[in-house]
Amino acid sequence: MFELNQQENHGFEVNTSRRRFLQIGLGATASLAVPNAFANIVTQPERKLALLNLHTGESVKATYWAEGQYQISELDAINRILRDHRTGDVHNMDSSLIDLLNMIHYKMDGKQPFHVISGYRSPKTNAALQKNSSGVAKKSLHMQGKAIDIRLPGRKLSALRQAALDLRLGGVGYYSKSDFVHLDTGRVRQWGT
C-alpha cells in the first residue's frame, strides 16, 4: 500500500497505543473539523499523501486511510519520512495534520509530492534552532507532531498559503524569503508576508 524510498537508515520506535487512539478517535471526529466544501474528501474510501523529505532525499506515497480507518503501516511510513532528520527521532504525527495536507493537495490539484522542509522536531533540535533564530517558537508545535513546513512544486507559494488559510483549520505561517509555508493544527492564526 505504501512506497518508501530510503537513502538513510535511522532506528525508530513506534507507539502503537497512541496510534490506536488516533485511529479510533480522530477518524470519527475529523469530519466535524472540516468545512462542508471539503467533507467529501473526508468521506472518500481512500486518502493518500505523497511527501519528499528535502533533507534525507526519502519519499513516500501512502494510502493512509482505507477500509474506513487509518492504516497503521502507512502512518508509520509517513512518521518516518517526517522524523527529525538531525537526530533520527521519529514521532507520531497528528492525523489531523495528515488530513489537512491531503485536503490542501486535493484543493490545489497538486501533481507533485509535498516538499518537506521540517516535520517533527525533537526538543533538542528545537532548542538548538531557537538559539540561532527568532522565528523558532520555544513551545513549537513541531515538537508535538502537529506542524510541518512545506512547499508544493508546480504551485505558487502564495496559492499554497491561501489554500491553507481558506480551510481555517490551524496556524499558517508564510515564509516567502525561505520559500515555505508552515502549517499546524493549533489554533487558527496566521503570520508572515
Q: What is the pLDDT along the chain (193 residues), one digit of tens a residue?
A: 544 444 433 333 344 455 444 444 444 444 444 455 456 566 678 999 999 999 999 999 999 999 999 999 999 999 999 999 999 999 999 999 999 999 999 999 999 999 999 999 999 998 998 888 767 888 899 999 999 999 999 999 999 999 999 999 999 999 999 999 999 999 999 999 7
Q: Cα separation of 102 and 183, whole Å?
A: 12
Contact 117, 151 (CB under 8 A): yes
Q: Cα separation of 173 and 187, whole Å?
A: 12
Q: What percent of the chain has pLDDT over 90?
A: 68
pLDDT at site 44: 74
Q: Cα separation of 115 and 28, whole Å?
A: 29
pLDDT at site 35: 54
Q: Cα separation of 152 and 103, whole Å?
A: 13
Question: What CATH number is attached to the domain comprising 135?
Answer: 3.30.1380.10
pLDDT at site 131: 86
Q: 6: alpha, beta or left, given left = phi > 0 and alpha = psi -120 to 50?
A: beta
* Count of domains forming the chain: 1
Beta-sheet pairing, 189-192 with 171-175 = parallel
pLDDT digit string, tens, across residues 89-115: 999 999 999 999 999 999 999 999 999
pTM for this prediction? 0.79
Distances (CA, A) of 57 to 24, 54, 63: 32, 5, 20
- Domain housing 145: 3-192
Q: Cα separation of 151 and 161, whole Å?
A: 9
